[in-house]
Amino acid sequence: MAAATMAASGPILKGRSAIVTGSTSGIGLGIARSLAAAGANIMLNGFGDKAEIEKTRSSVGSEFNVKCIYSGADMSKGEQIADMVQTAERDLGSVDILVNNAGIQHVAPIEEFPLAKWDAIIAINLSAAFHSIRAAIPGMKKRKFGRIINVASAHGLVASPFKSAYVAAKHGIVGLTKVIALEGAEDGITSNAICPGYVWTPLVEKQIDDQAKSHGISREQVIRDVLLAPQAMKRFATSEEMGALAVFLSSDAAASLTGASIPVDGGWTAH
């Protein structure tokens, strides 16, 4: 049993290199740590306190004995995304695994939805994946191996009120995931989307007050009656659970799994 566990969690990604966008926090950091634990070299990306980021970078590298670098590229800027991919190719040797995870949220009825928020959500949650895939796929095609993992959402499969931009972007990324699965199919490249339900991260924490305002209810009611209401299991999923799935999708065992949008949502989309 112990040997089987070790085999499953051992360095199955040794020699691979991964970019994880938006990995200074939440799900992205969970995925980056899981990929590193499986032996992959990592490029972290995202915003935050410089000293904290440097601490994370050096601890991921030393804890898992992998190379870990950081890019501060802004995922709303196409040229910065292309530069980030080029830097990873140069400093890690390749980009074998690309995890498009960076994302933001805004909750408001459509008639009050700020125009700038619509633009930012579409840019960061959808267009960024187009730019990063566009830059990373030539190297993957050359090496005949690639794993593209888009962190979509249960909101890539179903809708909720007051999340027009987010739901539109997440449905868009589910479509993009399928297109890339077809384009990469003969070159050893898979493309899949992870569709989490609610995971307790700063992104969720920050929307509770807006949800309370939009629905006209308290914070406690938001957690019970809005966030966990559709999740049959009545629990938040964890970043580590998303990381474990990302490791599997990155592995050789998942070579035929492509074009899929996989719900990790406690039964939300089973309704």
Among the listed residues 16, 22, 95, 145, the single contact to ligand NAD using CB under 6 A: 22
For the bound state, the minimum distance from the C-beta of residue 231 to ligand NAD, rounded and expressed in Å, comes to 10
Q: Which stretch binds ligand NAD (CB under 6 A): 1-9, 134-142, 193-201, 245-253?
A: 193-201
- Using CB under 6 A as the binding rule, whether residue 17 contacts ligand NAD is answered as no
Is the Cβ–Cβ distance between 99 and 246 less than 8 Å? Answer: yes
Residue 45: closest CA among 115, 136, 174:
136
Is the Cβ–Cβ distance between 104 and 128 less than 8 Å? Answer: no
Active site residue 166: yes
Task: Give me the catalytic one of 145, 166, 198, 268.
Answer: 166
Closer of 13 and 194 to ligand NAD (Cβ): 194
- The Cα–Cα gap between 233 and 80 comes to 40
- Using CB under 6 A as the binding rule, whether residue 269 contacts ligand NAD is answered as no
Residue 174: closest CA among 129, 117, 241, 119:
129
How many chain residues interact with ligand NAD (CB under 6 A)?
Answer: 29
| DSSP letter for each residue of 119-176 | HHHHIIIIIHHHHHHHHHHHHHHHHT-EEEEEE--GGGTS--TT-HHHHHHHHHHHHH
The helix (H) or strand (E) run that includes residue 63 is: helix 50-64
- Using CB under 6 A as the binding rule, whether residue 24 contacts ligand NAD is answered as yes
- Using CB under 6 A as the binding rule, whether residue 102 contacts ligand NAD is answered as yes
- Using CB under 6 A as the binding rule, whether residue 153 contacts ligand NAD is answered as yes
**In the window 198-217, what residues touch ligand NAD (CB under 6 A)?**
198-199, 201-204
| Residue 102 buriedness (CB in 10 A; 0-12 / 13-18 / 19+) | buried
Among the listed residues 27, 32, 222, 260, the single contact to ligand NAD using CB under 6 A: 27
Q: Which stretch binds ligand NAD (CB under 6 A): 7-15, 89-97, 98-106, 213-221?
A: 98-106
- One-letter amino acid at 38 equals A
For the bound state, the minimum distance from the C-beta of residue 206 to ligand NAD, rounded and expressed in Å, comes to 7
Burial 138-152 (b: 16+ CB within 10 A, else e): ebbbeeebbbbbbbb
Q: Interface with ligand NAD by CB under 6 A: which residues?
A: 22-28, 45-48, 74-76, 101-104, 124-125, 151, 153, 196, 198-199, 201-204
Annotated catalytic residues are 166
